[in-house]
Amino acid sequence: MRPTLIALLALPTLACATAEEVCTAYDGTLCSDLQQDLSDLHALLTQLQADLDAAEATIATQQQDLDAAEATIADLQAAGYLTDDDLTDLRDDVAAHEDRLTEVEADYLTSADLVGLATESWVTAYFGSLATADDHEARIAAIEGDYLVSTDVADAVRLISADTIYACADATEVLAAVAELDGYRIAGDATVTLALDGTFLFTEPVVLAHPDGERIRIEGVGSTTTLLVFDTTDGIIVEGSSALGYLGDLTIQGLGQVEDGLTVRGSSAVTVGDLVVEGFGNAGILVEQNSSLDQEEGAIIAISDCGNGAFVSDSSYACLTNASAADTDNIAFWAQRGGWLNAPSTTASNSGVTAYYATMGSYLHARYSQIDTVGENGFTAGAASSISAENTDVTGAAAYAYSSGGNSYISAWGATGETTKQVSETHDTTDFIWGI
């Protein structure tokens, strides 16, 4: 405090004097200094209040922005989808808000400033009570609590909303496309196509388990032009209660005579078009675990040089009309454990053991089918199973054209070619192989 002001306040005779009386009694310098001190104090306090008002206004604006962002997110999540662009915009908004919050915090008075000012009686006398540092820090914490964090954005849905084509040049790009799709949902009116042309060499299987797999297509340009080669590994696997909307116009080839060419399992479904499967040690086509395989109308499926042709098991279903299975080590068309194999007008040639086999409560529909050369039996039904083999033609069966046992039956009405038959000795012949 200035010495002149101290001297002034110390004079008892002026304790109740007005400013005008003080200025009259003392020289003008003392009066001028006092007025300047008061003016400076007023300016400081006015600026302080303006700064605090501006900070509060900034906070209110930021809260409005955050509320709007959260409302947008809520609307999009309620609709079930966020697009990739939405997510990018949201991330940018979050980053911008975080930057702005840092700026606001930097503009605040320090705790020491606020505490010092708030405890000065002359400040409270002039302005009234001021917010403390704790008040402002609590306000900042509340704002930070309203921010989206990175995990919130990452959990949002990414949507493919329009038809999309992945033109894959090699196996690596095919696998990368499948992996990328795992991070997206596909809108109901959109289709994603993996367009393949040429030869693709894989050292691992292509595995699809997409929740919108029925809207995914894997398309070649023809079985002689598009060749998917799998070196000592499974070929294409669809699993996990998923689907594949279309697989066709290509060849799936195995090297090393191991594993399966096309596997559909775990309550999944696949639709195929024209398809060639060759060179796998187990099954060319395997459908199991309550799954299904269907074919587009008129599609031709050819299986060759595999351990087994088509194998349907565990309450699964497969439709392979007009298909062919050649040069199989064991069985061309096989239904087992409640499997239903719908294979009319098919052809089995050079089967190692039996051409058509139904066992363990299964059904095999093979009307109008043809067999040419088989190591043992043409048609074999066993363990409470049945085969519809009407109007079939068997040639070159080393043992029997038709064999049934274990409470099973074969219907062979209208059969041509070889009609040799075998039934279990414990059952009457006419009850279990009908028509021949």
At residue 284 the predicted structure's pLDDT band, cuts being 50, 70 and 90, is very high
Q: Counting beta carbons within 10 angstroms of the beta carbon of residue 158, is it exposed (0 to 12), middle (13 to 18) or buried (19 or more)?
A: middle
Residue numbers of the domain that contains 293: 225-434
Query: Does residue 273 lie within any of the structural domains?
Result: yes
User: What is the spatial distance between Cα 3 and Cα 17, in angstroms, rounded to a whole number?
Assistant: 19
Mean pLDDT lowest for which of 59-73, 230-244, 295-309, 387-401? 59-73
State the pLDDT at residue 215.
98
Q: What are phi and psi of 393, to 5 degrees?
A: -135, 115
Query: Does residue 353 lie within any of the structural domains?
Result: yes
Average pLDDT score over residue span 33-58:
79
User: What is the spatial distance between Cα 112 and Cα 108, in angstroms, rounded to a whole number?
Assistant: 11
Is residue 312 domain-shared with residue 424, that is, in the same domain?
yes
Is residue 350 domain-shared with residue 258, that is, in the same domain?
yes
Is residue 29 domain-shared with residue 114, that is, in the same domain?
yes
Query: Does residue 203 lie within any of the structural domains?
Result: no
Average pLDDT score over residue span 106-134:
53
Domain C-terminal end among 110, 136, 154? 154
Question: Which strands form 324-328's sheet, in the order they lie side by side?
Answer: 199-202, 227-231, 250-255, 275-278, 301-304, 324-328, 347-351, 370-374, 393-397, 416-417
Query: Does residue 179 lie within any of the structural domains?
Result: no
Query: Does residue 283 lie within any of the structural domains?
Result: yes
Domain C-terminal end among 131, 154, 177? 154
Query: Does residue 217 lie within any of the structural domains?
Result: no
Mean residue pLDDT of the chain comes to: 83
Q: Does the pLDDT of residue 52 top 70, yes or no?
A: yes
State the pLDDT at residue 204.
97
Q: Does the pLDDT of residue 20 top 60, yes or no?
A: no
Domain count, the chain: 2
| 3-state SS string for 53-111 | HHHHHHHHHHHHHHHHHHHHHHHHHHHCCEEHHHHHHHHHHHHHHHHHHHHHHHHCCCH
Q: Does the pLDDT of residue 261 top 50, yes or no?
A: yes
CB 362 within 8 A of CB 375: no
Is residue 104 domain-shared with residue 19, that is, in the same domain?
yes
Query: Does residue 170 lie within any of the structural domains?
Result: no
54-58, 119-123, 196-200: which has the highest mean pLDDT? 196-200
Query: Does residue 395 lie within any of the structural domains?
Result: yes
Domain C-terminal end among 101, 120, 154? 154
Is residue 135 domain-shared with residue 38, that is, in the same domain?
yes
At residue 244 the predicted structure's pLDDT band, cuts being 50, 70 and 90, is very high
Going 173 to 177 to 179 to 180, the CA torsion angle's sign is positive
State the pLDDT at residue 68.
81
State the pLDDT at residue 13.
43
State the pLDDT at residue 146.
54
